[in-house]
Amino acid sequence: MLVFVHGFWHGSWCWSRVIPHVVAAGRPAVAVDMAGHGLYAQRPQWFIDRSYNPEAVETEVSPVAGLTLNDAAELLTAQITQIGGGKPVTVVAHSAAGPVLTRVAQRTPELIAHAVYLAAYMPASDVPSVRYLRSPEAADSLVTLLLRGNPQRTGAVRLDLANPDPEYRRQLREAFYGDVDPLLAEAATGLLTPDGPVDIMASSTTLTRDGWGSVRRTYLLCTKDRALEPALQERFIAEADAAFPDNPTSVVRIDASHSPFLSMPETVADIVVRLD
What is the pLDDT averaged over residues 185-192? Answer: 96
Can you give the pLDDT at residue 50? 79
Distance CA 101, CA 83 (A): 15
Tens of pLDDT, residue by residue over 199-223, are 999 999 999 999 999 999 999 999 9
CB 42 within 8 A of CB 216: no
pTM assigned to the model: 0.97
CA-closest candidate to residue 115, choices 226, 201, 236:
236
Tell me how crowded residue 152 is: count the other CB atoms within 10 A of its CB.
8
- pLDDT of residue 60 exceeding 90, the answer is yes
- CATH numbers and ranges of domains, the chain: 2-273 (3.40.50.1820)
Can you give the pLDDT at residue 77? 98
Tens of pLDDT, residue by residue over 232-254, are 999 999 999 999 999 999 999 99
What is the pLDDT averaged over residues 169-180? Answer: 96
Q: Residue 156: which pLDDT band, with cuts at 50, 70 and 90? A: very high
